[in-house]
Amino acid sequence: MTAIQKQRPPVMADVAKEAGVSHQTVSRVLNDHPNVRGDTRARVLEAIDKLGYRRNLVARALVTRHSRTLGVVSFDTTLYGPASTVYGIEQAARAAGYFVSIVSLTSIDKAGVRDALDYLADQGVDGIVVVAPQRSAAEALADLPVGVPAVAVEGGQAGDVAVVCVDQVEGGRLATEHLLSLGHETVWHVRGPSDWLEAEGRVAGWRAALARAGRAAPEPLAGDWSPRSGYEAGRGLARMADVTAVFVANDQMALGVLRAFAEQGVKVPEQVSVVGFDDIPESEFFSPPLTTVRQDFGAVGRHSIGVLLRQIEADGPREPERLVVPPTFVPRVSTARR
Amino acid sequence: MTAIQKQRPPVMADVAKEAGVSHQTVSRVLNDHPNVRGDTRARVLEAIDKLGYRRNLVARALVTRHSRTLGVVSFDTTLYGPASTVYGIEQAARAAGYFVSIVSLTSIDKAGVRDALDYLADQGVDGIVVVAPQRSAAEALADLPVGVPAVAVEGGQAGDVAVVCVDQVEGGRLATEHLLSLGHETVWHVRGPSDWLEAEGRVAGWRAALARAGRAAPEPLAGDWSPRSGYEAGRGLARMADVTAVFVANDQMALGVLRAFAEQGVKVPEQVSVVGFDDIPESEFFSPPLTTVRQDFGAVGRHSIGVLLRQIEADGPREPERLVVPPTFVPRVSTARR
DNA sequence: GGGATGACTGTGAACGTTAACAACAGGTCC
DNA sequence: GGACCTGTTGTTAACGTTCACAGTCATCCC
């Protein structure tokens, strides 16, 4: 004869009945509306506590048209760079009271990015962060679902979308100038894939530094960010007699280069100096510890959320921001005076 | 005198009017309900296309009580292991038509995990995956919001929650037996932090292998997964004359150990053999290339989603599954016969 | 004393979808 | 020819919240 236990969690109306007020008053308490009497508020809070009430965010999102969820599109979150950026984004978003919904792409094509954007827009996210280091991804941003605030991370000049990025050109310049300042005649380069904007930026910085010093730029060697591709480039470099300095576009490839040199009996830094890029946690313990250029991924993540939230809070369209985070040079022992 | 452009995107009723049917028929078309006449369906689809209608998933979630979103709680997604696992989870979830909402914890405490679980439950996720390699995280799972299907990854015996994990004990055993089979008298161990279940499992496997061979187990050296901690342990080991074989609980620490040995002039594998754990992409290019134990993080991610979806689809409570993924031994050149 | 003001609370209607049920047409069966 | 099904469509009512508005009461000021 006992009443049937209700399976469903309590709703606002249940709390209202328990506290002897209207559901609207419960809503006011929950939303910190000022005009609620102290004892009423207390009674409502007590009822909430007693019933174990939790507000239904889905219903709330339906009426407010805000989900307090941010979408993140990224590519291969297994890589240190993207993983760190996404981590920074997630931390910053949560600190600001937002959820983060993530889509990790496996393929790099424009269609994939568009699908991901549609997917997130369908879900009703309030804004989207696209970690789009490839040219193709950046292009897909151009036809973003209208009205959804967005920011591109490492996105180059992507239409009228706001951008947060690390100054890759400056990074390439720092690495190359360091090597030139050590007395090397020229600097070789193992570059990243050509559709990655970061790779292009580092190449540009390297070229600029060489040009400024009046040195010829050798043909860069192609890599795909993986240690293996660095290893293969390294084998090629080890065979050339005139190579004394190499700027490698990321630390993982630099590891491969170091390995190839070690196998060929080329001593680093005595015979050849090597500079990497990223400053992954491992770099300090390579043989030898790697001189590199650090990117502050945490700052990138925080800034991108900052830019995005400013866009969300501003009602009207605002002119797209562009925020550049400077890289820092990290000297270790893989480079030496010629 | 022109009509005011409506700012708001079209809703189902707009499509219905355009197609000359009721909104319910539109709903039926969208949900692939069988009883819709072919030409009616075509007319509706045409109207959807014309208006650029997109279904509002928030409204849908409110009435169906399913958000088609899965929550993921993880710890430090910058580390290779968690990042790879989360990546696998995300891929598998999306393939099954689910969104993924991620919370990355910075602190490891029980309260943090509980907050994250509450946070996700509030958002109305259909299920939760907790990548909980620490004991404290596993414990927090015990008082999970009731009624939310959940699975723990690397979670040990966590109350009555389903678990997917890699057989860490087996992995530790594989590494140690390999070293013993090469003729080493005993095997030293650089272990992970004591509140990590994975660290405990590897220690247990190591101990078991030594015990089975009738060898004494030296006191394990403490590490925190970082290359630096491995480096420090390595400096200690390099000073001891009788060390000929070391099993290091992850590849990053193994890198630190290799570095320390190199600095002290200890040759690997000629004087000391080293085995790591994880098989990160870099391991193959360490100096020397690292013999290690691979964990298939992709499989772990896929399995965890499989287990979770089975739980979601089964209405009633089902007995918690337990799925163990075997590790594989990866021989390279950092180990040699004594 | 009476109107204005302000603090507090309640009522009804959204939000955009799916679920439940009703209605209707056309066919089948005896 | 009527009862009965079956396929197709429409109508109405949820889902659980917030918003807009309308009350009610006490206070204040001239």
Which two structure tokens, joined as six digits, stand for A289? 């510890």
Minimal-distance CA residue of chain B relative to A94:
B103
- Residue B29, classed as helix, strand or coil, is helix
pLDDT at res. B59: 95
pLDDT of residue A282: 96
| Alpha helix positions (H), chain A | 12-19, 23-30, 38-51, 57-64, 80-95, 110-123, 135-140, 168-181, 197-212, 227-239, 251-263, 297-313
Asked if A153 and A302 sit in the same domain, the reply is: yes
Name the residue range of residue B305's domain.
Answer: 65-167+297-325
Q: Which two structure tokens, joined as six digits, stand for B216?
A: 């004494």
The reply to whether A38 falls in a domain is yes
pLDDT in tens, B103-145: 998 877 788 888 888 888 888 899 999 997 888 877 787 777 6
Question: CA of A39, closest CA in chain B: separation in Å?
Answer: 27
Domain membership flag for residue A274: yes
**d(C-alpha B228, C-alpha A285), whole Å:** 8
Among all chains, which residue has been given the structure tokens 């090397």? A184
Question: What per-residue confidence (pLDDT) applies to B1?
Answer: 33
Q: Would you state the torsion angle of the CA atoms of residues A284, A285, A290, A293, taken in this order, to the nearest 10 degrees?
A: -30
What is the nearest nucleotide to B54, using C1' and CA?
C16
Q: CA B28, C1' D7: Å apart?
A: 14
* Domain shared by B116 and B130, yes or no: yes
Beta bridge partners of B222: B191
- Mean of the per-residue pLDDT values of chain B: 91
Q: Residue B60's pLDDT is what?
A: 95
Taking alpha carbons only, the member of B181, B101, B156 closest to residue A90 is: B101
Q: Computed from CA positions of residues A37, A38, A43, A47, in that sequence, does the dihedral angle turn out positive or negative? A: positive
Residues 12-71 of chain B in contact with strand C via CB under 7 angstroms: 12-13, 23-24, 27, 30-31, 53, 55-56, 59-60, 62-64
Minimal Cα–Cα distance from B258 to chain A, Å?
Answer: 8
Both B70 and B179 in a single domain?
Answer: no
**Residues A162 and A301 both lie in one domain:** yes
Residue B75 tokens, joined: 């710890």
Chain A residues whose CB is inside 8 A of the B131 CB are none
Helix (H) or strand (E) holding B328: strand B328-330
pLDDT in tens, chain A (338 residues): 333 444 678 999 999 999 999 999 999 999 999 999 999 999 999 999 999 999 999 999 999 999 999 999 998 888 888 899 999 999 999 989 899 999 998 877 788 888 888 888 888 899 999 997 888 877 787 777 667 899 999 876 666 788 999 999 999 999 999 999 999 999 999 999 998 999 999 999 999 999 999 999 999 999 999 999 999 999 999 999 899 999 999 999 999 999 999 999 999 999 999 999 999 999 999 999 999 999 999 999 999 999 999 998 876 666 788 899 999 999 999 999 98
pLDDT single digits (tens) A63-101: 999 999 999 999 888 888 889 999 999 999 998 989 999
SS3 B168: helix
Alpha-carbon distance B134 to B112, whole Å?
A: 12
Measured between beta carbons, which residues in chain B are less than 8 angstroms from residue A54? 118, 121-122
Q: Which nucleotide is nearest to B23 (CA to C1')?
A: D10
- β-partners of residue A330 are A292
Same domain, A172 and A103: no
Q: Is B252 in the A-facing interface, judged by CB distances under 8 Å?
A: yes
Distances (CA, A) of A78 to A258, A312, B42, B108, B228: 22, 29, 43, 22, 22
Tell me whether residue B3 is in a domain: no
Decide if B172 contacts B203 (C-beta within 8 A).
Answer: yes
Distance of alpha carbon B168 from the chain centroid = 14
Domain CATH number, residue B18: 1.10.260.40
Q: Does A282 map to a domain?
A: yes
DSSP string for A171-229: HHHHHHHHHHHTT-S--EEEE--TTBHHHHHHHHHHHHHHHHTT-PPPPPEE--SSHHH
Same domain, B107 and B249: no
- Residue at B154 is within a domain: yes
B69 and B146 in a common domain: yes
Q: Nearest CA to A128 among A302, A325, A309?
A: A309
- Cα A215 to Cα B191: distance, rounded to the nearest angstrom: 50
Give residue A126's pLDDT. Answer: 94
Check residue B146 and give its pLDDT.
67
The pLDDT value given to residue A158: 60
Cα separation, A247 vs A221, whole angstroms: 10
Pair (B21, B111) in one structural domain: no
Please tell me what DSSP assigns to residue B79.
Answer: S
d(CA B290, CA B269): 10
The single residue listed with the structure tokens 């590849």 is: B251
Q: Is the CB of B147 under 7 A from strand D?
A: no
Q: Which residues of A touch B289 (CB under 8 A)?
A: 259
Is B6 a residue whose pLDDT tops 50?
A: no
- Name the token pair of B111: 């309260």
pLDDT tens digits, one per residue of B297-332: 999 999 999 999 999 887 666 678 889 999 999 999
Q: Which nucleotides in chain D have some atom under 7 angstroms from a protein Cβ?
A: 7-12, 14-20
DSSP-derived pairing of the beta strands B292-294 and B328-330: antiparallel
Contact A69 B106 (CB under 8 A): no
- The distance of A232 to chain B (nearest Cα, Å) reads 11
Structural domain total, chain A: 3
Q: Helices marked H in chain B — which ranges?
A: 12-19, 23-30, 38-51, 57-64, 80-95, 110-123, 135-140, 168-181, 197-212, 227-239, 251-263, 297-313
CATH number, domain with residue B70? 3.40.50.2300
pLDDT of residue B7: 61
Judge whether B320 lies within some domain: yes
B73 phi and psi angles, rounded to 5 deg: -110, 125
β-pairing, A221-222 with A188-191? parallel
List B105's β-bridge partners, or say none.
Answer: B75
- Asked, for residue B48, whether it belongs to a domain, the answer is yes
CB B306 within 8 A of CB B320: no
Place B2 in a pLDDT band, splitting at 50, 70 and 90. Answer: very low
Mean pLDDT, rounded, for B266-294: 97
Residues facing B162 on adjacent strands: B151
The sheet with strand B127-131 has its strands ordered as A322-325, A162-166, A150-153, A127-131, A69-75, A99-105, B99-105, B69-75, B127-131, B150-153, B162-166, B322-325
H or E element, residue A247: strand A245-248
B58 closest CB neighbour out of A67, A77, A255: A67
Q: Average pLDDT of B252-263?
A: 97
Give the model's pLDDT for residue B333. 96
Q: Which residue of A has its CA nearest to B251?
A: A282
Residue B3: which pLDDT band, with cuts at 50, 70 and 90?
A: very low
Q: Which residues of A touch B287 (CB under 8 A)?
A: 258-259, 262, 287
Identity of residue A92: A
C-alpha A169 chain-centroid distance: 18
Residue in the structure block whose two tokens are 């290019």: B285
Angle formed by the axes of helices B297-313 and B80-95, to 10°? 40
Q: Do residues B174 and B229 both lie within one domain?
A: yes
Contact indicator for A194, A135 with CB cutoff of 8 Å: no
One domain for residues A225 and A282: yes
Q: Is residue A131 part of a domain?
A: yes
Phi-psi region of A3 (alpha: psi -120 to 50; beta: other; left: phi over 0): beta
Residues A172 and A286 in one domain: yes
Same-domain check for residues B81 and B145: yes
Q: In chain B, what percentage of residues exceed pLDDT 90?
A: 74
pLDDT digit string, tens, across residues B55-78: 999 999 999 999 999 999 998 888
pLDDT of residue B249: 98
End-to-end, the C-alpha distance of chain A in Å comes to 92
Beta-carbon contacts of residue A88 (< 8 Å; ≥ 6 apart) = A297, A298, A299, A300, A301, A302
CA dihedral of residues A146, A301, A246, A268 (deg, nearest 10): -160
